[in-house]
Chain A
Amino acid sequence: QKEVEQNSGPLSVPEGAIASLNCTYSDRGSQSFFWYRQYSGKSPELIMFIYSNGDKEDGRFTAQLNKASQYVSLLIRDSQPSDSATYLCAQDIQGAQKLVFGQGTRLTINP
């Protein structure tokens, strides 16, 4: 069973709407969760990290973590065409530093 699951998409959202990206994980011991954005042909860049249950907001981005249900999500408000990219969810593995990544969700924002 894959440790981090994401819907590969593509997810299409109209410009100005809210994009909702979801990720589920199996390792209950994980304490650190990360969202990375990856443009085609580029390396991943950090969007947000979250350690605690609840919401964490940064500008147009909100990360949500629910450890009881083992999911983490990323909301993008007022979506822009420049938000079109693949979004990678990652978690650390208990007792180890390595990150395990989901397959990524390809997001397209339509003007």
Chain B
Amino acid sequence: DGGITQSPKYLFRKEGQNVTLSCEQNLNHDAMYWYRQDPGQGLRLIYYSQIVNDFQKGDIAEGYSVSREKKESFPLTVTSAQKNPTAFYLCASSITLWGEQYFGPGTRLTVT
């Protein structure tokens, strides 16, 4: 079955630690995205990648980093520089940039 997987579903970290969220897709999509969702707010774009070895900052990239070494994988690292990292993180992919998006199940990160 084709789809997007994110792991883990729930993640707990202490303040000051970096943490990496996994996102894998087997849909053969070129474009991948990371979004953040906070209660009562719409999705906000963190980073996006149009193609392997290329990625661009979204609207709220500060405190985050990504890599796109393989077409299937787009991991997101939440660094200690991110002031409010507790949130729900969603990964998505699309055939072409800004096309119809397919979402992963999300990772809920709690930092205390």
Are the chains A and B members of one assembly?
no
Chain B interface residues (CB < 8 Å from chain A): none
Chain A interface residues (CB < 8 Å from chain B): none
